[in-house]
Each structure stands twice: as C-alpha cells, then as structure tokens.
C-alpha cells in the first residue's frame, strides 16, 4: 500500500509517487521509468498503485476489457451491442516477465483450435489483459529490444496491431506503463528512454532512523497483515478517491499560451530531440494542476512536470548519465514566467478557491500538504532534485569525451597524439590520460554459430531472426513451425481414423522453428596500462580506441569486462557487466605507468573467462587485447597465452614509430587472433568523421 511506506526512507520516492499519480490521472503522460539501486521498494510501490486506481466497468465475457459505455468497434470479441451485460472489477495489474515471447506480449493465432477444429481464432496477449489497467515491466533494461519497441508503440498509440499466420487483429491497448531498472545492469538506449513519459531516480536513505522505520513497518506487516492494512485503509481510500476526482476534472484544465511557450522554451533550451518532450511536459503539467486542485496550469506545474519529463531526454551519448541542471531550469522558468502566473481569478478551483481536494476532503495522504511529501512541488532539497549528482555532470550542452573535453577540441583524434607538432605531452606516470572523440570500429565477431542471448554481434540460433528450418522440440515447444507440423501429421490421418475437418495431431508431429539471428557476446578488454604505453604518448590514442570499442559493444548488446595490467600485476577493473557506462567510467580514471606484466594480464583474463563460462555458459566470449606486445615483468607469456587457447581473440597492436619489433604480431599468431593495428582503427575513425562532415 502506498500510504504505508515512509517515503523519506528512500530518496526520490516522493517524486516516484507523484509520477505514478500523474499517469493515473492522465494516461496521456506516457508511463514512468523508475531507475534505482536494488532494494529501494521500486516494485513494491508500483504494485501498490493498482489498488488506488478507480475500478473499471467491462463488457461481460470480453477478453479485451471493452468499456460498455464506449465499446471498441474493432474489438475482436465484438461488436458489442448497447446495454450488454457488464461487470465492475478492479483495474488490472499485469506483469511482463523478462523472458516473455513476442506472441505472449501481443497475442497470436490459437494454433490448437486452428489445427484441431479448422477455425481461425486469435489468442490475446498481455497487452489485451492490461487494457485500462497497469502494465508493469520489472528490469525493463533486460527486456529484448524488439519487445520494448512493441510495448512502447502500443503505449503511444493506445492500440495493438497483430499480424500472425494469416491473422490480422487490431484491439485497444490503453494502459499505464511502468518500468523499473537497475542502471548497474545496463542502460536503455536513448531512443527507448525517450518513449517513457516520465522518469524518476531513487536511492536508499543513509539516515539510520528512516531505515529503521522501514524495518519496523515491515515487521508489523508480517506480524499481522490484516491489522496493518486496516490501520492505513482510510488514507488509501482517500488517495484513491482523489485520483478518481482529478481524472474526472482533467478535461476542464486550461493550458494558457504563456505556459505553453514556457514549456517550449524550456525544452528547446535543454536541446532535447524531437517534440515528444514538449507534449509530455504539457500533459504532465495539466495533470499536476488538476491534482493540486487548479484548473489553470501555472509555473509550479510546469516546473514539476519538467523535472520528471526531461532528465532522461538529456542523455544523447550512450555514456551520458541522465540528469537535469536544476539551476538552468529555475533560470528559464524565471525568465519566461508571465503576469498570468497566478491562476485565473475567476477559476473556482484556484489555489485559494473552494476546490474539493483541500484539507477538508479526506485530509492529506503521505506527509506533505498535498499528500505527496516534501518532494513534489518543485522544492529544493535532496529528494526534490532528480539525480543531483548527475546533473552537474550533464550540465554542458556540448558532446563530451570520456575525459570531459569538448568534442571540438579532440577533432584531430588519435592521430594527433604522436605527431611532433601540436602533440599532447605524455601523462605523468600513475595519472590518467585523456581520450578523444570515439569513432566507428570494424565489426568483430566470434566465429561459428552460437546460442547466446539476443544481440547484434555474432551469428547465432535465436528466437528472433530469419527462419532457416524446423526441428523436433527439445523440451518445451518454442515457436511452432506450422507448415512442418502439418507435413509431419498429414501422412498419418487415415491410419489415425480422421473423419472431421481438423487434423489429428500427436506430440511427435510438432515441429518448432529454427531461426538464425545475432547474439550478444562477452567482450573482455585486456588493456596494457604500463609505462611503455605512456612514454610514447599513446595512452590517449589507446583510450580512444577502447572507448570506441566500448561504444560498439553497447550498440551490439554485449556484456563487457575490463582487465588492466601495469607495474607488477593485473587487475580486474570492471567485472563482466551489461553496463558499458561503468566501463567508460573506469576507463576515464585509468592510470598509467610502471613495468609491463603481460603474462599476468593474460592469466587474469583466463581466470575471468573461466568463471563466466560457469556463470553464463551460453554467452560466448571475445577477448580484445590492447598492447604493444612488450613484456618487462615476471611471468611466462607463452604459458599464459596457452590458458586462452580456443578463445576468440583480437589483438590491437599499439606499437608505433619507425622501428617496430613486431611483438604484438607474434602474440596474435600465438593466440590465433585477428590483428588490428591501432593506426588502422584511427584511420577508419577519421574517414568516417570526414564522410559525415562532407554529407
């Protein structure tokens, strides 16, 4: 239950409650994405929201929850006649599991009826079940990209379109979309982030008293759930009633031209792409106004809406952290506030008017004067800011390299590092070197055909891709191959005594689709950070190359890890993770200097890959070794290289200068690895940049 949670115990939960309420009042806002560390009650509060939504009336027997007052004329279970029997039920809460298939999400042909009865029937999916309710996706960043696309398209259009095996269906799918994610497990693409209306970042409070209150209430609930729920029933009922009344009054909310210009100015100043931010901010501001008991949108409403709708749209580069410059927002709002900022004096629901959501209407719920705690009115303070730490990093309007330089100062790219004129001085030993703007790199693949998680790197058998054949199911059936199943069953119909229109099927007739697509791999970077690299002023070029490879791994949906070696040992700087942003952050602070323990780096990489084979055996590894091949510290390189036999590898040769020893070339031959000179990567990057400028 929402009212039972002490919101001060988790920084950002006041904003989360506000975002959920705004979507409950106005589904046009477009859903909520909740970002935060594990154990911060993200799932708990989302599941509690469904109980606060007004109940819905649906046509009895309709699998698509049609509203009896305005049934969908294209409903597959329709058409529904006026006056049909109806039922009243709570708003649905539908959860989409990470491993769901496309057919489970949108629906598909009812194969059993098609084969046994000879009729064409549609089996609805989770989008139909969530109509007029809540669709909750936990760990949305781990959901396959094509499912996220389908999900967000349906949420934006309010309609689900299904084309399956001669079945063409359209049905209404209007729902409150809520996704939760832990950024440590990888980010959503910026294009997908933009499709969520609002975003909130939450993290646990470090105050012992607030944390203790959470534990106290949890123990009280476990000791007596019914008694605990009864203690908060009045507050929960008041919140549900307030949401219902705000939803009814929403059509009467007025958005003055001055406030609309203010929204457009703010969105333009933050340089968000497209116009979706303007539309979402306007819808959220109107919902916030009616939630506060106003019928005219004010600057306070615009402020609250912008703080929730803009932070994730500021993320353009995959390595950018979502955030919002609060000072810039306040300055823009102050500069664009007009004389009509107070509500229309003739508005009976203004802040001083007799609105029905004041203290006399069931009382506040949650701690603040409006029932949402201290964080939802645009106030300052830790819970008011969305990502106060990241807003400082994202305050600039120019693209940044990993070392914080403006991209324009790094346009010369890695080639400028070794030149005598204008070259950068070598970074002092032990201090991190910078990096230039990343560039496009060639496709690196693991040879053969894998069966790992869906991605965009190596060839693999997968649930998505082009159909290459059919086979008997191995365990549970995944994707029926209709033609192959019919061909397997057809020769036996007479001997099985078939007399009706349908086929007589047996389990051994079933055939499943075999598809070939692309998989994501584990890309383990092993980077030489020794003094031999820094002495030749190559670490900037090396960091730029690794950053470019990291960007490529992000785009191809890989897991990444980072091992470095310098001095006397190797270190796992980044254990394998789906968060390439973490890899970029580790790369930013990577120091250089000392001797070159190449053997230790290879041995450490072998250890990491051995553990990952046990943890995730279906994900094939790709080793990317960035080195000049020198080995000036202990260990047998030949023996360490033998530990990596059978591992798909790439050696990026960083040796430069007129005299070259070819050590990295020999190492690549020993590892049976693809050899990529660092200069070749740099030249390709320059060519791509020049082409983009010319176009």
CA angle 657, 658, 664 (to 5 degrees): 60
CB 142 within 8 A of CB 99: no
Q: How far apart are CA 548 and CA 559, in angstroms?
A: 15
Contacts of 544 (CB under 8 A, 6+ apart): 401, 413, 414, 435, 436, 437, 438, 439, 682
Question: Which pair of tokens denotes residue 455?
Answer: 């991605």
Instruction: Please say if 88 is a catalytic residue.
Output: no
Give φ, ψ of 291 to 5 degrees. -65, -35
Which position has the token pair 């058998």? 461
Q: How far apart are CA 483 and CA 500, in angstroms?
A: 20
Residue 49 near residue 134, CB atoms below 8 Å: yes
- C-alpha angle 588/393/383, rounded to 5°? 130
Q: Residue 41: helix, strand or coil by DSSP? A: coil
Nearest CA-CA partner of 24 in 177, 152, 176: 176
Give dist(CA 302, CA 320) in Å, integer.
Answer: 25
Nearest-CA neighbor of 544 among 428, 664, 654, 456? Answer: 654
Would you state the structure tokens that stand for residue 506, as one six-digit string? 């047996």
| Burial class for 592, CB neighbours closer than 10 Å (0-12, 13-18, 19+) | buried
DSSP secondary structure of 360-378: TTT--SSSSTTSS-TTSSS
Contacts of 652 (CB under 8 A, 6+ apart): 545, 624, 625, 626, 627, 676, 677, 678, 681
Residue 439 CB partners (closer than 8 Å, separation 6+): 413, 544, 548, 681, 682, 684, 685, 686, 688, 689
- Tracing tokens 């802040």 back to the chain, one arrives at 351
Catalytic residue of the set 132, 276, 303, 307: 276
Per 3-state DSSP, what percentage of the chain is helix, strand, and coil (rounded to 5)? Answer: 40, 20, 40
**Residue with token string 């050899």:** 675
Task: Let me know: does 22 contact 198? Beta carbons within 8 Å.
Answer: yes
Catalytic residue ranges: 276
């Amino acid at each position: 239950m929402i009212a039972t949670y002490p919101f001060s115990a988790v920084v950002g939960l006041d904003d989360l409650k506000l975002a959920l309420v705004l979507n409950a009042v106005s589904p046009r806002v477009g859903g909520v994405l909740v970002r935060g560390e594990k154990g911060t009650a993200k799932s708990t509060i989302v599941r509690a929201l469904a109980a606060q939504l007004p109940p819905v009336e649906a046509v009895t027997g309709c699998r698509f929850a049609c509203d009896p007052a305005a049934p969908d004329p294209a409903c597959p279970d329709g058409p529904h006649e006026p006056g049909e029997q109806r039922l009243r039920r709570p708003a649905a809460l539908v959860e989409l599991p990470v491993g769901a298939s496309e057919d489970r999400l949108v629906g598909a042909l009812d194969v059993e009826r098609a084969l046994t009865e000879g009729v064409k029937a549609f089996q609805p999916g989770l989008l139909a079940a969530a109509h007029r309710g809540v669709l909750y996706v936990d760990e949305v960043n781990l959901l396959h990209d094509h499912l996220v696309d389908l999900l967000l398209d349906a949420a934006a259009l309010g309609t689900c379109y299904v084309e399956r095996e001669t079945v063409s269906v359209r049905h209404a799918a209007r729902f409150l979309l809520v996704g939760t994610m832990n950024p440590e497990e990888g980010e959503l693409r910026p294009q997908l982030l933009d499709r969520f209306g609002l975003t909130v970042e939450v993290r646990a409070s470090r105050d012992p008293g607030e944390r203790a209150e959470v534990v106290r209430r949890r123990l009280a609930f476990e000791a007596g759930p019914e008694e605990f729920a009864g203690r908060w029933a009045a507050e929960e009922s008041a919140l549900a009633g307030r949401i219902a009344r705000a939803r009814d009054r929403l059509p009467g909310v007025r958005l003055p031209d001055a406030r609309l210009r203010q929204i457009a100015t703010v969105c333009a100043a933050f340089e968000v792409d497209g116009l979706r931010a303007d539309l979402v901010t306007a819808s959220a501001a109107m919902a916030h106004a009616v939630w506060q008991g106003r019928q005219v949108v004010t600057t306070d409403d615009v402020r609250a809406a912008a703080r929730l709708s803009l932070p994730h749209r500021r993320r353009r580069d995959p390595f950018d952290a979502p955030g919002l410059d609060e000072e810039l927002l306040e300055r823009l709002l102050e500069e664009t506030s007009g004389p009509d900022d107070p509500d229309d004096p003739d508005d009976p629901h203004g802040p001083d008017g007799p609105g029905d959501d004041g203290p006399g209407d069931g009382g506040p719920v949650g701690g603040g004067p409006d029932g949402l705690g201290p964080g939802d009115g645009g106030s300052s303070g830790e819970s008011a800011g969305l990502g106060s730490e990241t807003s400082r990093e994202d305050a600039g309007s120019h693209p940044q390299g990993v070392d914080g330089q403006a991209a324009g100062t790094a346009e010369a790219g890695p080639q400028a590092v070794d030149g005598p004129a204008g070259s950068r001085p070598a970074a002092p030993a032990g201090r991190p070197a910078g990096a230039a703007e990343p560039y496009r790199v060639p496709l690196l693949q693991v040879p053969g055909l894998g069966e790992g998680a869906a991605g965009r790197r190596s060839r693999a058998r997968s649930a998505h891709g082009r159909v290459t054949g059919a086979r008997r199911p191995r365990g549970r059936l995944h994707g029926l191959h209709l033609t192959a199943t019919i061909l397997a069953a057809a020769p036996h119909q007479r001997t099985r005594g078939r007399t009706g229109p349908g086929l007589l099927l047996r389990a051994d007739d079933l055939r499943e689709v075999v598809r070939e697509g692309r998989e994501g791999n584990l890309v383990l970077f092993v980077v030489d950070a020794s003094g031999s690299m820094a002495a030749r002023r190559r670490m900037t070029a090396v960091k730029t190359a690794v950053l470019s490879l990291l960007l490529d791994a992000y785009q191809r949906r890989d897991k990444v890890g980072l091992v470095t070696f310098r001095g006397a040992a190797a270190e796992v700087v980044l254990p394998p993770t789906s968060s390439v942003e973490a890899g970029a952050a580790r790369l930013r602070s990577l120091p250089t200097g000392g001797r070159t323990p190449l053997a230790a780096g290879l041995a450490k990489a072998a250890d990491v890959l051995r553990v990952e084979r046990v943890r995730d055996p279906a994900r094939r590894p790709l080793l990317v070794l960035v080195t000049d091949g020198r080995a000036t510290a202990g260990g047998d390189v030949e023996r360490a290289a033998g530990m990596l036999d059978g591992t798909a590898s790439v050696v990026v040769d960083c040796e430069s200068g007129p005299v070259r020893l070819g050590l990295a070339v020999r190492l690549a031959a020993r590892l049976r690895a693809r050899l990529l000179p660092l200069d070749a990567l740099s030249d390709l990057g320059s060519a791509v940049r020049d082409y983009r400028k010319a176009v």
